[in-house]
Structures are given as C-alpha cells and as structure tokens.
Amino acid sequence: MQALDKPWLDGIIYQRERCGLLKARISLREDASGDEQSAGVGHHESPHPSMVIREGGTRMEKDEKNLTKLLDKETSRRSFLKGAGTAAGLAVTASAISGGRPSVAHAQQPKPVMKFLFAERQNCTGCRACEYACSMFHTGQVRPSMSRIHVWKYKGIVDVPVICHHCDDAPCIAACPTDPPSIQKDPKSNGIKLNEKTCLGAKCMKCQEACPAEFVRQNPDTGQPLMCDMCDGDPECVKACEAQATMPLAPCLVAGVSGFGVNMAYRKVTPEQAAKDLTRLFYYPNADGGRR
C-alpha cells in the first residue's frame, strides 16, 4: 500500500498489515488446534483479547471495517486535493503560455488617462531613462535628442528634468501664428499635439519663446517644436523613472489625472533657478552659505 503523508495514517496502515498477518496465523493455529482436539491432545494458545469472537464478528474485523472507511475518506480527500492541484497547475501553465494575459471574463479595469506630469526635481539622479523611453515611444529608437522630456545638467553638478506643464492657458497655443493653430490640446489626454503639415517650424518658434517653463526644443531633423503628447495618457517617461528609481529616493516623475494648480506654480521656476536651488540644497546647506 502506498504510504501517505500523515504519520498517524502510516502507523494505522502498518497495524492493519500486521493484523492481517496475525489473522492468518490465528487461522492456522485454529486449524492446528482443531486437529489436536480431535486427537485429544494439546491445548492451543489463547488468542489476543482483540481477536476474541463476539457477536457480529471479531473485534479485528470491526476495526478493519472502521479503518477502511477512514482510509476511503482520506483517499477521497487526497484525490480532491490532487485534482484541485492539477487544475491550478493547468491554469498556471495556460497563463504562462498566454503570456499572463487576463481572461476576458476577468479582464483588468482600464488604466485612467493621465493628464499631467510633475517632477520631483530633488529626486532626479540624471539616469536619463526618461529620455530613452520617450524617444523610443515616438521614434522607435533610443535618441535622446528626439525626446520630449529633457534632463539638463547644470554646471556638471545637478540634474534638472525639464517637462511640459500642460498649462491650462497654454501660452504656446496662444502664440502660434497659424490659423487654426498648429498646436492643439488633446481633450482626452491633455497632451499637446502638433500638426506638422501646417507648423512653420524653425521659421517661427513663437511657441518656444512663449513657454514659461523653457520646455520647448526643436526637432533636430525638421526644426519643428517637440511637444509632449503625454504618450496618449500613459507617459513612458514615468514608467521608466519608476523602474530606475533607487532607494532611498522615490521616482522623480509622477503622472496624475489632475495637477493644474501645482504645475502652474512650478512653471514659474525656470530650469536654471531650479538648478541653483538644488545646488544650494545639496552642496551649500549652511546658513552662512558655506559648502558642506
């Protein structure tokens, strides 16, 4: 009989097998004693009390019946657990084969559309993963010069992420001379979209002059402005920043469905002013202006 994983059941099985041997021996002894009695000689050994014949069968036979019921219940339980484990294993295997995609019945809720970016400038390590992710999304290659977000290194000391604040009043759109403006806001993602066919590009760049955050840069190939379209509501730079964030620093870039008031306040701080503030914070924290 196959051993089970419960020690007490293993013991019962052993006793059952042992009882089976005892029963066989007793049967032989009873046969032998019958022959001796018929011959009028000898006296056979009395059976163990557990083998005493009572009404309805021997105690051993009753114990065996109870044990059989117990083992049947345990076998049924183990079969059920085995079947459940097999089903779970098949589910895991199917999930692995399908790439872990959720089933239609249990599809995940769609992500909310992000409309604003915010930069915790003091958390930026200058890894530039955001630039790589942005350029990959928009051009299919790692080309930081084509990235909408830009990490500016100030005097080789601190790194300042320069982002679009997606201003509610959109000075870049107001400054665009074309009619209608070549720069428009996506009502769904709040991202800035550029009509490359009507944009005047390097001949104009009024949008660059009007941007209070000094965000707008030129496309090195076309001369047209590089505008942040929020990756249609799921910013790649934010995901890249989260993946590269190291303790004890939290991610630098954060996206949200709201944030207009915060961004309007931060857009007044130019990248150079932010860099100077960070330099004082990190390297000149003493009240007298002395370096740490």
Residue 290 lies inside a defined structural domain of this protein: no
Q: Give residue 284's pLDDT band: very low, low, confident or very high (50, 70, 90).
A: confident
Residues 49 and 183 in one domain: no
pLDDT of 89: 52
283: pLDDT confidence band, cut at 50, 70 and 90? confident
Residue at 30 is within a domain: yes
- Asked whether residue 246 falls in the same domain as residue 273, the answer is yes
Whether 65 and 135 map to the same domain: the answer is: no
> Has residue 262 been placed in a domain?
yes
> Does residue 2 fall inside a structural domain?
no
pLDDT at 8: 42
pLDDT tens digits for 194-218?
999 999 999 999 999 999 999 999 9
pLDDT at 23: 46
Domain range enclosing 12: 7-97
Identify whether 196 is part of a domain: yes
Mean pLDDT value of segment 87-114: 59
What residue has token string 């890894």?
127
Place of tokens 């924290």: 285
User: How many domains are contained in the chain?
Assistant: 2
Same domain, 12 and 55: yes
- Of 181, 258, 175, residue with least CA distance to 211: 175
Q: Is residue 71 part of a domain?
A: yes
Are residues 83 and 154 both part of a single domain?
Answer: no
Evaluate whether residue 264 is within a structural domain: yes
Nearest to 139 by CA among 219, 199, 201: 219
Q: Which helix (H) or strand (E) holds 119?
A: strand 116-119
Mean pLDDT along residues 165-188: 95
Task: Note whether 70 and 154 are same-domain residues.
Answer: no
The angle, 0 to 180 degrees and rounded to 10, between the axes of the packed helices 129-139 and 236-244 is 150
pLDDT, mean over the chain: 75
Say whether pTM exceeds 0.75: no
| Residue at which a domain ends, from 97, 127, 145 | 97
Q: What's the pLDDT at 273?
A: 93
Bridge partners of residue 217, in order along the sequence: 226
Residue 190 backbone phi and psi in degrees, to 5:
65, 10
Same domain, 44 and 87: yes
pLDDT of residue 268: 84
Please give the residue that has the higher pLDDT: either 109 or 33.
109
Check pLDDT > 70 for residue 56.
no
Note whether 137 and 82 are same-domain residues: no
Domain-embedded: residue 292 = no
Q: Verify that 33 and 143 share a domain, yes or no.
A: no
